[in-house]
Each structure stands twice: as structure tokens, then as C-alpha cells.
Structure 1
Amino acid sequence: MSGAVWPRDARFAVYYAPSRESAWWQAGCAWLGRDAQSGMLCTAPQPDDLARPLAELTGAPRRYGWHGTLVAPFGLAAGITQHDVLEATREWALTQSAFTVPVEAATLGDFVALRPAEPEGEAKLRAVAASALQTLNALRAKPSAADLARRLAAPLSERQRALLTEWGYPYVFEEFRFHMTLSSSLADAAERASLVAWWRARIPALGALEIDQAALFVEPAPGEPFVLWQRVPFQTREVK
């Protein structure tokens, strides 16, 4: 994907993605049934106590690929090219230091996701996301009046509405909560509990997440699966 030329109306996002060689990348791609970097389909595991195939429960996150959002998807501002986005993201990544974050599986509303297990990890990831957003914000196309009105119609707090208007997304800065989505919205609490239990049993062997890079993902056209275009490694490891 490194030499891809994307359509002008493609959307770009800065996500955290585990390194391609890591057990976390393999486990997440297998769970969702798709590798967003290679484009290949994967064989998903099947928790024993599910009444329906796992693939029916993971359609939404499968389209986005295995990731944790740092900067939500955005279109390009007038005069901005994909090269501008790549260069700005690479330069930003060189200002970031690698660190590890223990994670846990949990329900977030009707979804199942991985999230930081400790407040320190949450705070570090919030700072990384805020830095990326501030660096790239000038490259982002502002939403149309109709799109902004549609988004503001969602149930948001006043602060979230203000963040959406200024930054294009309501869950940034102090409203940001890092997570890696493991399911679509599931009304069945038993299904959610089954997925949480499956991941809780496997997280100890996978260990903490290594936050040593980000990745540029691209939605080539509205509704199409996101693809991992470029990985951008962080420059240094945090000094203890």
C-alpha cells in the first residue's frame, strides 16, 4: 500500500496499530477476520458459548481494521495532498516516545473493546492523541454545514458539541477514551459477556500493548473498508 494513490475524496485517519510482527496484530486481525494491511481475510476464532458465528458480531470493527483511534477519519482541506498528510504524520511521530500499556477487555455501552487497564496508560494515550490532532488539524477539511448539523443532532454534552464544532470530532482531549473495538453494537448482554470473557482469558499471554508506532489508515471511498496505508514508528523509547 505504500505507493498507493488515493482518490481526492478519500478519508485519512491516524490510528494506533500494533506492529505487524506482534502477537497483538495477529490476534486482533484474526478476531476481526481481516488484515487491514495485507487486505487478506483471516480465520476468526469461535468462542464455544456463542449461539451465532463470531463474524456476525464483528462487522462494524472489521470495516475499520484492527486499531485504536488517535485522530478520527477526516477529508483533506483544499490544497492538501496525501503526501502532505504522510509527511506531517511522520514528522509528528518522530516527536513521540514509545511506552507500554497494560489493557483489559470490557464493555463500553453496547460494544466490547480493549481499553487501558490503568489510569497512567489512559493519560499517556490521551496525550499522544491530543498531540497528533493538534499537529494535523490544519490539514483537515471542515465539515459541511449539513454534515455538522447531522453530527450535532447526536446526543452530546455541551463540551462535546463545542469540540465537534472546533475539531471535527466530539471525543478529543479530555473527552478522549482510548479503546480498540472488538464488536459491533450488541444488544445481547450474554454475547457481550462471552466476548469479554474470551479476551480476558487470553490477554495475560499477549501482555501489554507496545505503543511504539502509529499508522495512517485510509477509507478510499465512503463505506469501503479502511486499509492500513503507512506505519509511522515513534522515534525513541521513554526513559524510566
Structure 2
Amino acid sequence: MSGAAWGAEARFALYYAPSRESAWWPAGSTWLGRDAQSGERCAQPQPPGLTRALAALTDAPRRYGWHGTLVAPFRLGACVTQDDVLAAARAWALAQQAFALPVEAATLGDFVALRPADEHGEAHIRELASNALQSLDGLRARPSAEDLARRLAAPLSERQRALLLEWGYPYVFDEFRFHMTLSSSLADAGERATLLAWWRERTPALGPLAVDQAALFVEPALGEPFVLWQRLPFSPGVQHGDRKDMQHDEVSSQ
């Protein structure tokens, strides 16, 4: 068996996570205050103008780790093992081609997040997530009646309700919006503006995200911090876009 033996309550997720060699990994992990792969806490910056510590504004995304969702967290179906998940995710990743994704800092409701900077990038990452969802759907347990009732109680459109019933999550396919969360929900517009300004100043120097891998994250038990379990490099063949020299990480386990 590869890696840790997770318990029956564990949830698995397929996320995009920047390479550890990329400037984006330490930038995001330091911002959130936790490296999801090593488990180490990071000293967070303090953007000028904030009256609260950044830690208080990033507690929700800190639990999930620095990532962008491709396939939302799910429990394993009957007779599905963690090795089955790893094998399926690794095979899926090796069938993908790397591409560069320009991003920008933006607000999503009361949150601050990184988002694709143009419609082409948005469509490309949506296609990747849709393909991943379809490829891994046979691994997940169907939601319990209690979980389903809880989710259906949320304010969802008819389309989102239909997607939830079929795919276990309402924000997939045409409802999918790729983002990498930079804050908890913040009622204070001034705080959102301060965080947004900090990231807009730094994002150009970091450049596009190199989408050359995905990662399996695990929530060991309900409410515990997610950990980056396995990195999954994409095919080393011909890459999309102009960045022909993007490097590929070796699969690593924690």
C-alpha cells in the first residue's frame, strides 16, 4: 500500500497545487500559514493597513491548504481502496498535457481568490476539471440522505441541484469556477480591498500558474486539516501553450 493508511472517515480530493519548485507554492503556503505537504506552519506576512492579523483572515482556507479544486472532496465507495484512488488519479494525470494559466487576484462574493485572467484560461481549466470528475467518479461513495438534504437546503439553482444529485457536488461542468482561495469570508470591504491590493501588486512577478500536475489531498477525519498526499505529474510529452520548459515533479508522498 502506498503512503499512509487513511481511516474510513477520510475524504479524498483532486486539487491543483503548484510545484514545490514553483514560486507559487511558497507564496501561497506562506500566505495561508501552512504547508499542506510538509505539515509545517509558516510565518505569515502582514499586509500594511490591516487591523487584524492575517491569520484571523485566512483560517478557513488554511485548513484546506494551498490549492485549486478540480474534484471536490469525496469519501470512497464500497470496496474502493486508497490504492485504487492513487492508481486512477495517476493514470488520469499521465493522460493530461501541461499548460500555462494566467491568473489575477479578484473578489468572489466576500472572499478574495486567484482566478483565471481570461476566458481562454477559464475554459481550459474547466475542461481539465470536467475530465477529472468523469474519470474519477466511479471511486466516490454516493452522499448519504443526511448529506444530500443538508446540501439541498443551500440556495442552489435548478441546474446546480441537478448536478448535485448526479455528481455529488453542485459546482461542476458549466457551473465550475476555478479559484485558489486567499481569505475566509470577510464582511469588511476594507479588509478585502487590502488583501486584493497586496496580491495584485505581487501576481505579475509570479507569472502564470504552470498547470503541469495535480495532487491528491486527504482530510483524515472530519474537520481536520487537509494534507497533500501525492503529487501527480502530467504527461511529459508535448505541452499546450508557449511554456515548453515547464518542469515536472516526481510523484512524492508524505
Name the SS of the counterpart of 1:88 in structure 2. Answer: helix
Aligned position for 2:212: 212
Cα gap change, 1:185/1:125 in structure 2, threshold over 3 Å: closer, same or farther? same
Aligned 8 A contact 1:99 1:237 in 2:
no
Aligned position for 1:30: 30
Cα deviation digits, residues 46-104 of structure 1 (max 9, x gap): 00110110000000000000000000000000000000000000000011000001100
* TM-score normalised by length of structure 2: 0.93
Kindly state the Cα deviation for residue 193 of structure 1 after the two structures are TM-superposed.
0.5
Aligned position for 1:201: 201
Structure 2: unaligned runs, 5 residues or longer: 242-254
Aligned position for 1:187: 187
Aligned position for 2:119: 119
Aligned 8 A contact 1:47 1:194 in 2:
yes
Please tell me the residue identity of whatever aligns with 2:175.
E
Aligned position for 1:176: 176
Aligned position for 1:59: 59
Kindly state the Cα deviation for residue 21 of structure 1 after the two structures are TM-superposed.
1.2
Please tell me the residue identity of whatever aligns with 2:59.
G
* TM-score normalised by length of structure 1: 0.98
Please tell me the residue identity of whatever aligns with 2:86.
L
Kindly state the Cα deviation for residue 204 of structure 1 after the two structures are TM-superposed.
1.0
C-alpha distance in structure 2 between counterparts of 1:43 and 1:5, whole Å:
30
Kindly state the Cα deviation for residue 238 of structure 1 after the two structures are TM-superposed.
2.3
C-alpha distance in structure 2 between counterparts of 1:62 and 1:239, whole Å:
31
Please tell me the residue identity of whatever aligns with 1:40.
E
Name the SS of the counterpart of 1:230 in structure 2. Answer: strand
Name the SS of the counterpart of 2:155 in structure 1. Answer: coil
Kindly state the Cα deviation for residue 8 of structure 1 after the two structures are TM-superposed.
1.6
Aligned 8 A contact 1:16 1:70 in 2:
yes
Cα deviation digits, residues 111-165 of structure 1 (max 9, x gap): 0000000100010000000000001101100001111011000000000000001
Q: How many residues align?
A: 239
Q: How does 1:31-180 map to 2 (within 5 A)?
A: 31-180=31-180
Cα gap change, 1:4/1:188 in structure 2, threshold over 3 Å: closer, same or farther? same
Name the SS of the counterpart of 1:26 in structure 2. Answer: helix
C-alpha distance in structure 1 between counterparts of 2:239 and 2:128, whole Å:
13
Aligned 8 A contact 2:99 2:240 in 1:
no
Please tell me the residue identity of whatever aligns with 1:226.
F
C-alpha distance in structure 1 between counterparts of 2:15 and 2:186, whole Å:
24
Please tell me the residue identity of whatever aligns with 1:122.
E
C-alpha distance in structure 2 between counterparts of 1:89 and 1:158, whole Å:
30
Aligned 8 A contact 2:93 2:213 in 1:
yes
Cα deviation digits, residues 177-199 of structure 1 (max 9, x gap): 00000000000000000000000
Q: Percent identity?
A: 74
Question: Would you identify which runs of 4 or more consecutive aligned residues in structure 1 move more than 2 Å?
Answer: 236-240
Please tell me the residue identity of whatever aligns with 2:6.
W
Aligned 8 A contact 1:105 1:113 in 2:
yes
Name the SS of the counterpart of 2:138 in structure 1. Answer: helix
C-alpha distance in structure 2 between counterparts of 1:176 and 1:237, whole Å:
26
